[in-house]
Amino acid sequence: MESRQLKEYAFSAGADLAGISGIDRFDGLTRRKDPRSIFPEARSVIMIGRRITRGTLRGVEEGTNFQNYMFHGYNWLENRFIAMTTFRVSEFLEDNGWEAVPLPNLPPEVPPMGVAVRKGVPEPNVMLDFDDAAVRAGLGEIGYCGIFLTPEFGPRQRFQMILTDAVLEPDPLPAEEICPRNGECGGFCPLGAFNGDRELEISGRKMRVAEIDYGKCASCKNGAVKNPHHPAGRPDRIASVCIRTCMDYLERSGRIKSRFRLPFRQRETWTVREEKDLYRM
Ligand code: SF4
């Protein structure tokens, strides 16, 4: 099968983004991070993405409706819309004779939950890092803020993954950077969760990223959502003030492709240090 055919099908099934990496781009990772721990015969890793529509962030931006994001921007998008697209692409692969292992995005920080069933295999559950895999699939980069960014939508997308034994042409890793990495985004965090930075390297791509105190993010009332799967999992920060500000900056500066008639941020944003401590920036 050609990558072009697979992607055409994925886009017809609702994907906004589709990226492919050869399994060799995962060489050298520990068994807990290697897709071959789940499917030893895997030869390609396919990342299927769908956008978080900008309007699902509106209620949080205005501080008047948080459920708008929780359903169409998070739960339903993750568990229904992308899941259906991923399942249909998996069916397409299997109709062509290739096994397809569809995986939801579960937190890779979760510790082992059982015992190894045989020598040489890791304990269940192996949960892969989807942001890391999306970089390897050439879809974008980890921004300084720690969120995956694409040239199409900035921080506005979610992914699922398919492992397959089909050998597919991999996508190149882009050379251009989306994030200016000037550290300014840290200044928008009212809880002071940005603590310096470090260099991250994925498949030869180097990215300077902030060290973030995710314990603070877990209690953040500015649009962050606690991880619904496990307390060890990182909170979802896409609707929080730090990432909404990042998105507005990327749009205004023309660093991403998405274009709208009106800028996202229309008025002074709100922030909260604690639930009872509401103040204006
Ligand atoms: S989620 Fe909240 S605490 Fe975490 S970096 Fe963003 S604004 Fe700061």
pTM: 0.96
- Separation of CA 119 and ligand 1 centre (Å): 41
**In angstroms, what CA-CA distances link 95 with 28, 82, 281?**
32, 20, 54
Q: What CATH topology corresponds to 184-261?
A: Alpha-Beta Plaits (3.30.70)
Ligand 1 atom 4 nearest Cα? 217
The binding-site residues of ligand 1, defined as CB within 6 angstroms of any ligand atom, are 189, 191, 193, 212, 216-217, 220, 222, 224, 237, 240-242
CA–CA gap between residue 136 and residue 123 (Å, rounded): 24
Q: Is the pLDDT of residue 279 over 70?
A: no
Confidence of residue 206 (pLDDT cuts 50, 70, 90): very high
17: β partners: 49
Pocket test for ligand 1, best of 195, 216, 234 (most atoms within 8 A of CB): 216
Atom from ligand 1 closest to the CA of residue 214:
4
Dist. CA 235 → ligand 1 center (Å): 9
Instruction: Give the tens place of pLDDT for each residue, 56-93.
Output: 999 999 999 999 999 999 999 999 999 999 999 999 99
Dist. CA 177–CA 76, nearest whole Å: 30
pLDDT score, position 280: 47
Residue with tokens 């040489």: 120
Average pLDDT over residues 100-126: 96
Task: State the pLDDT at residue 273.
Answer: 84
219: alpha, beta or left, given left = phi > 0 and alpha = psi -120 to 50? alpha
Q: What is the mean pLDDT of residues 38-62?
A: 98
- Banded model confidence at residue 276, pLDDT cuts 50, 70, 90: low
Segments of the chain assigned to CATH 3.30.70: 184-261
In percent, how much of the chain has pLDDT > 70?
97
Residue 174 clears pLDDT 60, i.e. is over it: yes
Half-sphere exposure of 261 (CA within 13 A, CB side): 0
| pLDDT score, position 253 | 97
Torsion angle of C-alpha atoms 239, 47, 12, 69, degrees rounded to 10: -10
Give the model confidence (pLDDT) of 19-38 as tens digits: 999 999 999 999 999 999 99
Q: What is the mean pLDDT of residues 245-262?
A: 97
Q: Which atom of ligand 1 is nearest to the CA of 192?
A: 8
What is the percent of the chain where pLDDT is above 90? 96
Probe ligand 1: pick from 237, 277, 281, max atoms within 8 Å of CB? 237
